[in-house]
Amino acid sequence: MASDLHGFTEQETLNKVLNTSNDSLQVDIVDATGVTITTSTESVYVDDADWTDSTSSHTLVGGLYQSTPQTITDGDTGPLQVNANGNLIVDLSATDNAVLDAMVVDLAAMEVLLTAANVDHAANEVLLGTIDADTNAIKGHVDGIETLITSTNSKIDTFDAVLDNILTKNTEIDAVLDTIKTDTQEIEEAVETIEGAVSGSEMQVDVVASLPAGSAAIGKLAANSGVDIGDVDVTSIVPGTGATNLGKAEDAAHSDGDTGVMALAVRNDDVAALSGADGDYSPLQVNAAGSLYTKDETGEAGSILVTGTTAVTTTVTANTAFVAIQFIEDSVFDSGNDGLVSSTNQLYPSTQYASTSIDADGGAVADSVTFPQGMTIFGRWSGFKLASGKVIAYIAHV
């Protein structure tokens, strides 16, 4: 179609521009660059024509942009008019405008409803989250209840076994009670037999065989020399406190001819405590000559010669004290706290205290006194230390 037609006749030129059906002219549409735009009969659709598919070609119906819509005389043709946004300008009637206004109001109302719905939807989402958390918590409680039910079932099984064991024990107890009942009946019958043999406060005995020969006492024990009554256990004896009884009452006066029990003493050549603690019963003790040990004032527990100024104590031998100190030359005790240490403070002379327990106004410390040769002092001291002189110290149990 684009070829030059000057060399053809009119008839040939006409044939060139007709389409293949010879019922319309064939026209080539060229764009701005000179490229031919292919068209077909499907490019334009008529009334009631069907759309085929996305590959069909279509003719674009455009509109003329008018900043101000132009009026066209009645009966004339003119282009479609569009605004600056490319929207088709349509002239609506008052009724149409009212409908559109109502539609705008309805759209605004719908927008308000949608906004409220969105708010409700957000609230519903929060509520659904809370419901979901509560559901999970309920599920946890349900799981705990199921665990508790399982544990309870186990305990019920245990209780059931215990009850079965109790039933078994009850059966055994019933058997024992039946035995006890039988034994009780036998005891009751025996007691009734014994009651029948008692008259007043005496047992009636029928002698069905002759008594053996001898001097047996019947009914009670009687003095019977040469008769052995067997072993006798005496569980208690109250000796009495009379003149002929072994016992004597505390604080009772002595009388000639009173009987009693001889007290025995223990010989103990090296006197020592024979009981465990203060307040215990303990036997009397005698020495090798048979003399009774009494209050020890002569150093039976030991003695020591002291000629120097070293401190001496009795702590090596338990429960002892220096009971006498004999001066074999003029002597003076050290003035320190260990010069002369009394076992009981303020009761015996010492280098620490005046003897205020004896006389509140008298007594003095002994650290400046010279004790002359040949003198002996008696008391209770746990130790001493000489400043000068010589002594022999005697130890006793206290």
Rounded-to-integer distance, Cα 137 and Cα 89, Å? 63
Topology of the domain covering 302-397: Jelly Rolls (2.60.120)
Domain with CATH 2.60.120 in the chain: 302-397
CA dihedral 376, 379, 380, 386 (to 10 degrees): -30
pLDDT in tens, the chain (398 residues): 555 656 666 666 666 666 676 666 666 665 556 656 554 444 444 445 555 555 555 555 666 777 777 777 777 777 787 787 777 777 666 777 787 778 778 778 887 887 777 777 778 888 888 888 888 888 888 888 888 888 888 888 888 888 888 989 889 998 989 999 898 888 888 888 887 777 777 777 766 566 566 666 655 666 777 777 777 777 887 778 888 888 888 888 888 888 888 888 999 876 677 888 888 988 998 887 888 877 655 667 889 999 999 999 987 777 789 999 999 999 999 998 899 999 888 889 999 888 778 877 778 888 889 999 999 999 999 999 999 999 999 998 77
Q: Of 344, 369, 367, which is closest to residue 357 (Cα–Cα)?
A: 344
**Residue 247 burial (CB count, 10 A):** 14
Cα distances (angstroms) measured from residue 83 to each of 60, 69, 70:
18, 8, 12
Confidence (pTM): 0.35
Burial (CB count within 10 angstroms: exposed 0-12, middle 13-18, buried 19+), residue 269:
exposed
Helix, strand, coil abundance in the chain, percent, nearest 5:
30, 15, 55
